[in-house]
């Protein structure tokens, strides 16, 4: 067979359909969706003991008619999230490259990893601004919408936002739906959000739920991948 043995003309519809099918197969081979979900689940579960036992700074306590309100900064948790998430994205990038290379392909996760790291930086900047400038009304708390935005930029929200980018890169509707469902669970509704929590254990429970969701997602996508390969 010579390079020109295949007719140069051909049905344009068929050529286009074949090209689309080849592109689809490449995308399927590049997918390792379970990996970021697993790594991020482990990072989220790792935050639970840090929330429970890590250093927190309590200040400006004021008596209210029904109790007391204080400003609390989970100092250890903040540093944990920033370091753990950046490390997680490095591990994810390495994992994707390794798997893609083993399959004879390049990887396309760079925009996802860059988005993830950029969101960590933004999250850190917002936390620093809140600490230094103290712009939020106190003790009343900000509006529900501002609370929603702040939660969107906190580590669990940022994980969901970055997953939307991964769904777009992988052109995977199932991952898009998963990311939206995850965000729906971890974010407070913008019209009824409360500010803060009355229990020390509140954030830990939230981390367990977020981590559990990511772990379930990882297992689901791994199973789907295995089933597709055995077919």
Partner 1 sequence: MSGPLDGPAPDETESPHPVTGLDDVVHQRVRLGILTIAHEARRVEFGYLRTQLGLTAGNLSQHLSVLETAGLIEVEKGYAGKRGRTWITLTAAGNAALAEEIARLKQLIARVETTNAQ
Q: Which residues bind partner 1 (CB under 8 A)?
A: 1-10, 12-13, 15-16, 18-20, 22-23, 25-27, 29-30, 100, 103-108, 111, 168-169
- Give min distance, CB of 172 to partner 1, in A: 12
d(CA 38, CA 218): 5
d(CA 160, CA 177): 11
- Give min distance, CB of 95 to partner 1, in A: 16
CB nearer partner 1, residue 147 or residue 165: 165
Q: Is 231 exposed, middle or buried (0-12, 13-18, 19+ CB in 10 A)?
A: exposed
Give, as one character, the DSSP assignment of residue 64: E
- Give min distance, CB of 106 to partner 1, in A: 3
CB nearer partner 1, residue 58 or residue 102: 102
- Give min distance, CB of 96 to partner 1, in A: 12
CA dihedral 152, 155, 160, 166 (to 10 degrees): 130
CB nearer partner 1, residue 103 or residue 228: 103
Q: Is 4 exposed, middle or buried (0-12, 13-18, 19+ CB in 10 A)?
A: exposed
CB nearer partner 1, residue 67 or residue 104: 104
CB nearer partner 1, residue 101 or residue 226: 101
- Give min distance, CB of 161 to partner 1, in A: 17
Buried b (16+ CB within 10 A) or exposed e, 69-82: bebbebebbbebbb
CB nearer partner 1, residue 116 or residue 211: 116
The runs of H, that is alpha helices, within 134-201 are 144-153, 155-170, 173-186
Angle, CA of 203, 41 and 127, to the nearest 5°: 45
- Give min distance, CB of 14 to partner 1, in A: 8
């Amino acid at each position: 067979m010579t390079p020109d043995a295949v007719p140069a003309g051909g049905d344009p519809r068929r050529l286009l359909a074949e090209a689309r099918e080849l592109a689809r197969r490449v995308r399927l081979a590049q997918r390792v969706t379970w990996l970021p979900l697993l790594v991020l689940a482990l990072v989220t579960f790792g935050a639970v003991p840090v929330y429970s036992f890590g250093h927190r700074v309590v200040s400006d306590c004021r008596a209210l008619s029904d109790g007391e309100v204080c400003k609390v900064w989970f100092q250890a948790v903040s540093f944990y999230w920033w370091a753990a998430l950046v490390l997680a994205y490095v591990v994810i990038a390495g994992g994707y490259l390794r798997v893609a290379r083993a399959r004879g392909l390049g990887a396309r996760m760079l925009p996802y990893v860059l988005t993830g790291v950029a969101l960590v930086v933004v999250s850190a900047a917002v936390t620093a601004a809140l600490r230094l400038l103290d712009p939020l009304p106190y003790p009343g708390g900000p509006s529900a919408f501002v609370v929603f935005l702040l939660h969107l930029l906190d580590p669990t929200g940022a994980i969901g936002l970055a997953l939307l980018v991964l769904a777009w890169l992988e052109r995977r509707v199932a991952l898009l739906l998963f990311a939206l469902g995850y965000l729906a669970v971890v974010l407070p509704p913008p019209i009824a959000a409360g500010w803060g929590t009355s229990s020390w254990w509140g954030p830990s429970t939230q981390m367990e739920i977020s981590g559990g969701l990511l772990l379930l997602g990882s297992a689901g996508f791994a199973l789907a991948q295995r089933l597709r390969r055995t077919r």
